[in-house]
Structure 1
Amino acid sequence: MTTLFLALHVLAAIVAVGPVTVAASMFPPALRRAHAAPDDPDPRAVLRTLHRICRVYAVLGLAVPVFGFATASSLGVLGSAWLIASVVLTAAAAAVLALAILPAQQGALAAVGGPGGGAADRRLAMLAGVFNVLWATVTVLMIVRPGSTTGA
């Protein structure tokens, strides 16, 4: 069962978290293009699509910790420091996405066509960077796993 849980955990991370990290990173440059050409409907369509990808895949991403906890439980490592750190970082990444990135994207969509974003655009780019660094750190922890018996 451990192998199944681990496979589902890794697949969920690739399929769900990957698109969110890419779409969140693509949103700020697309937003700058939308501000540069406010009468062009194309950038707005791109922004709506990127925001939708972030929203939908954020929900699908809930499978990652579910299968992660199932895997950790079956391996008996729920109390390991590297796992606890990963859980905290995952929660932080989820909070950044749900409480900062998604609302900022929604606000940016509503403001397209108005005055240029400037600071708001840069803040959204910074938030996407923080989100991506958090996930990259979790990925490294999952691979390195301090105290692992795999020798990695």
Structure 2
Amino acid sequence: MSAVLLAVHVLVAIVAIGPVCVAASMFPPEARRALGDDPGAAARLPVLARICRTYALVGIAVPVFGLATASSMGVLTEPWVLVSIVLTVAAAGVLAGMVLPRQRVLLEGAGPRDALAASTGRLAAATGVFNLLWAVVTVLMIVRPGSSTGV
């Protein structure tokens, strides 16, 4: 059963988190192009935002299956799992509290162009933090410090 849970956990992580990371990373440069009156970029922004929102919801399955997998493997209290849980919660917080709301503000286009342009930089930074958190979680999942297979 652990193998099935682990396979589903990894597949959902790839299918759900990957698109959020890519679409969220593409959003700030597209927003800058849209602010520069590129109609193609303006048309792509809602699609990128929808990808982020949709796959963020699907991504909820990642920690659900991760917790089920860790529990079935008896490693739920291992430090690398606990750190991964904290980092996953932090990544979810960055996405829900910074990335998605800033995307919404840019989509609405309310405010002076200078303020919106500055917002793209803050959005890019928040997206970078989100991606970095997931990269660290991925490394922890592979290396598993202190485990019998850890490096």
Q: TM-score, normalised by structure 2?
A: 0.95
SS at match of 1:12: helix
> RMSD of the TM alignment (CA)?
1.4
Q: Is residue 2:10 matched to residue 1:10? A: yes
Q: 5 Å matches for 1:20-99?
A: 20-37=20-37, 40-99=38-97
Q: How far did residue 115 of structure 1 move?
A: 1.7
Which digits, 9 at most, give the CA deviation of each residue in 1:85-106, with x for residues without a partner? 0000000000000111101000
Which consecutive unaligned segments of at least 5 residues does structure 1 have? none
Contact between 1:44 and 1:112, CA under 8 Å: does it hold in 2?
no
Q: Deviations over 1:54-89 (max 9, x none)?
A: 000000000100110111001101111000000000
Identity of matched residues, %: 60
Deviation of the 1:150 alpha carbon: 2.1
Counterparts of 1:36 and 1:100, CA distance in 2 = 23
SS at match of 2:113: coil
User: Is this contact kept in 2: 1:90–1:138, CA < 8 A?
Assistant: yes
Structure 2 gap ranges (5+): none
Paired residues of 1:35 and 1:113 also in contact (CA < 8 A): no
Query: In 1, Cα distance between the equivalents of 2:84 and 2:91?
Result: 10
Is the Cα contact below 8 Å between 2:27 and 2:48 reproduced in 1? yes
Q: Which residue of 2 aligns with 1:107?
A: 105
Does the 8 A contact of 2:19 with 2:55 survive in 1?
Answer: yes
User: Is the partner of 1:118 in helix, strand or coil?
Assistant: helix
Cα distance in 2 for residues equivalent to 1:51 and 1:118: 17
Distance 1:22 1:105, change over 3 A: same
Question: Helix, strand or coil for the counterpart of 1:79?
Answer: coil
CA drift of 1:41 comes to 3.4
> Larger relative contact order (C-alpha < 8 A, sep ≥ 6)?
1
Q: CA deviation at 1:44?
A: 1.9
CA distance in 1, matches of 2:53, 2:78: 31
Q: Distance in 1 between matches of 2:43 and 2:93?
A: 26
1:130 and 2:129 aligned: yes
AA partner of residue 132 (structure 2): V
Give me the TM-score of the superposition, normalised by structure 1. 0.94
Q: How far apart are the structure 2 equivalents of 1:132 and 1:151? A: 23
Letter in 2 for 1:141: L
Runs of 4 or more above 2 Å deviation:
none
- Aligned residue-pair number: 150
